Amino acid sequence: MTSGRSQYCGECFELFDSELAHCPRCGKTVAALSYRDYQQKLAQALEHPLADVRMWAIIALGLRGEGSAAPALVDCALRRPADVVEGLETVRSLECILVGNGEVGALMHLAEAHPAHAVRLAAKRALENHPPCPFCPAESVVLRNELACVRFDIYPVNPGHCLIIPFRHVANYFDITKEERQAMLALADEAKKILDRDFAPQGYNLGINVGDVAGQTVPHVHLHLIPRYLGDVENPRGGVRGVIPARQHY
């Protein structure tokens, strides 16, 4: 005898009796499905047969701003090309993700491949509103490890001025992982050896700008490694305190 209450399987969306311990269609246990984190559940909901459920998942993924959700959102839109409303909402969510993560590839895919003209046009407009990040993808790399890379600044303060940049697009330094910080600092040590050999500076400044008020112009974390040379400024006393010139000297 059944309980009369039903639930959807989080894997295949089979509707089955809530008292069953596993889905009769795919075999997934209710306990195993409950261990999925919220991000995984939202991504899975993009395959739900009910349009309202898919729409809420699309909106929620956009609000969360997770770059890893972009491919699943694109697949959802392309699976149902006739649903233009869903496609347009997908573009809006991808635009939210782009702002936080620099993920332009997903929008470019929709702008080129979606059958609906309205969706392609919306994706193209979103791309026009958000030019691609100059640090994504990594180019002209001098050094790299698994999580970050080094490149020379194209507007150097001094000869040898380098930028250490995590591959993952994150705007705020305080939002990167411990592993990314360690990778950046390890590359700073390696880059210094090259600069010592090739430029022989007498000192260095290291600095990170976080936020517009701190002078950050590219919303992708980057650590400046700036070689310093005797006589490059009249009075170097105070160093990084010079970000507020009136308080540099003390």
Q: What is each CA distance from 240 to 118, 145, 206, in whole angstroms?
A: 50, 28, 8
Q: Tell me whether the omega of the peptide bond preceding residue 24 falls within 30 degrees of 0, making it cis.
A: no
220 is catalytic: no
In the numeric block, the tokens 């869903």 are attached to 86
CA dihedral 202→206→212→213, nearest 10 degrees, is: -70
- Structural contact between residues 133 and 169, judged by C-beta atoms closer than 8 angstroms: yes
- Structural contact between residues 111 and 127, judged by C-beta atoms closer than 8 angstroms: yes
Selecting among 22, 222, 224, 249, the annotated active-site residue is 222
**Of 85, 31, 39, the residue nearest 64 (C-alpha):** 39
What residues are annotated to the active site?
A: 222
